[in-house]
Amino acid sequence: MFSDVEYVPGSGVAKKKRDRTKDRQRRKEKQKEEAEQKAKDEEIVETTGETRAQFNARLETQPTADASRGAFQRRQRKRKGKPIEYRHPEFPKDQVVRFDSENVFEAEKLKEGIAQVEFAPSINLKDSDVDIIAAADPAFRSGLKAIIVGDPLRLVQNGIDITDAGVKKLVKACPNTKVIKLMSTQNLADRAFKEIILNCPDIEAITITALKGSQAKLDDFLNELIDRVYRTKLRFWDFRGVWINPENTNFLGFLTKVRPALEVIFEPQGKPALFFRDMDGVPLTKVPPQSQSREDDEWEDETDDEARAKRRANAKAFKKAGRLSTMSSMLGRPLYDFEEDDDSFEDDLDSDDDGMDDKEFQKLMGMIAQMEDMEAMGDYEDYDDDSDY
């Protein structure tokens, strides 16, 4: 019946056929997107065991208090260039065990009552050493609060060989750890940081630094940290020597909005800095130890009262300048023509310039009185920039 119909490009029949093909393609793409979104919504969040949809819905209910630009600026003025606020807990000497040599790493020292274990910078902590800790007395592992390993100077000869697998075994064996310092690492990848967060609910401080000149990277953070009710005790991270890509750098910046107490150190462009504590990178050379007094006025910020007083003084100066400009325009002469120069008084006596005559003087005085009357009717408001924007 339709055998005589010719499908001519651009004809109504051909167009309808193309439209039906496009509609089928769009439906397939939409179905695919919906299936992918459903899979994402149903995936289980590592940190809480919720589905992703439940996690996102709960985050939307969390308030964003004190996240304005003005709030950050006020915190920045108070904290910039000041000592790092976080201090990890200190324990009595009888609760601290220090291993100074690989030859005296004795398991019997890992006993109940020990809160902190330190390894000398010269000790290369390996996964096999972690096995000894993981096999220690359960009472010791339960009570351990701090683990300090590696060379703070990150010298090449003092690198440690612990891997992500070793870190995972360590934190699973010692879940109540609050402070973990893994310095001069050379074999850690993305998973070590996550394992610490996931397995240590009371974690406060994490240090993962890399040997100088190494290519260590930290490409994967735990995005679930934007949940403010998760790991609420987190206060300090140190990532010196570890390369962080721009995307994760931006994430750190966003994270400090959610967790303003979090202090992060890393090395942008090779220079250690206290980064994003207040949305601003402060070089560590400008951050003194807690016990050191401030001597460098360059980094001293004004108090709120000082800043407000300066703004008001500037406003009054602008107001005065406006009056003078108005009077100058009305007189048709610059006002400095009427000023008396004490240093050249004698020269002025011999000058051909007669200065201001009586009429001009009276006119000037009248304008000044008029301006003062106008101000008395409605004084200008002091300028104050405490509003958030």
DSSP 43-88: SBPTTTS-BHHHHHHHHHTS--TT-SHHHHHHHHHHHTTSPP----
Contact 330, 360 (CB under 8 A): no
Q: What is the mean pLDDT of residues 269-287?
A: 75
Report CA 202 to chain centroid distance, whole Å: 22
Structural Rg of the chain based on CA atoms: 35
Residue extents of the structural domains in the chain:
75-291, 304-377
Weakest mean pLDDT among 92-106, 191-205, 229-243, 290-304 = 290-304
- For the full predicted model, state whether its pTM sits above 0.85: no
**Alpha-carbon distance 22 to 147, whole Å?**
61
* pLDDT given at position 191: 86
Query: Which tens digits make up the pLDDT trace of 38-54?
Result: 888 888 888 888 898 88
* pLDDT given at position 223: 80
pLDDT at 302 over 50: no
Contact 186, 212 (CB under 8 A): no
The larger pLDDT score, comparing residue 373 to residue 142, is at 142
Class assignment of domain 75-291?
A: alpha beta
* pLDDT given at position 364: 61
The larger pLDDT score, comparing residue 343 to residue 19, is at 19
Q: What is the mean pLDDT of residues 336-340?
A: 40
Query: Which tens digits make up the pLDDT trace of 101-129?
Result: 766 678 889 999 999 999 999 899 999 99
368 pLDDT band, cuts 50/70/90, is low
137 pLDDT band, cuts 50/70/90, is very high
Query: Which tens digits make up the pLDDT trace of 8-42?
Result: 555 677 778 888 888 888 888 888 888 888 888 88
Sheet of strand 236-238: strand arrangement: 96-99, 116-119, 146-149, 179-185, 205-210, 236-238, 263-266, 273-275, 282-283
pLDDT at 203 over 60: yes
359 pLDDT band, cuts 50/70/90, is low
* pLDDT given at position 161: 93
Bridge-based pairing of strands 273-275 and 282-283 is antiparallel
346 pLDDT band, cuts 50/70/90, is very low
The larger pLDDT score, comparing residue 1 to residue 295, is at 1
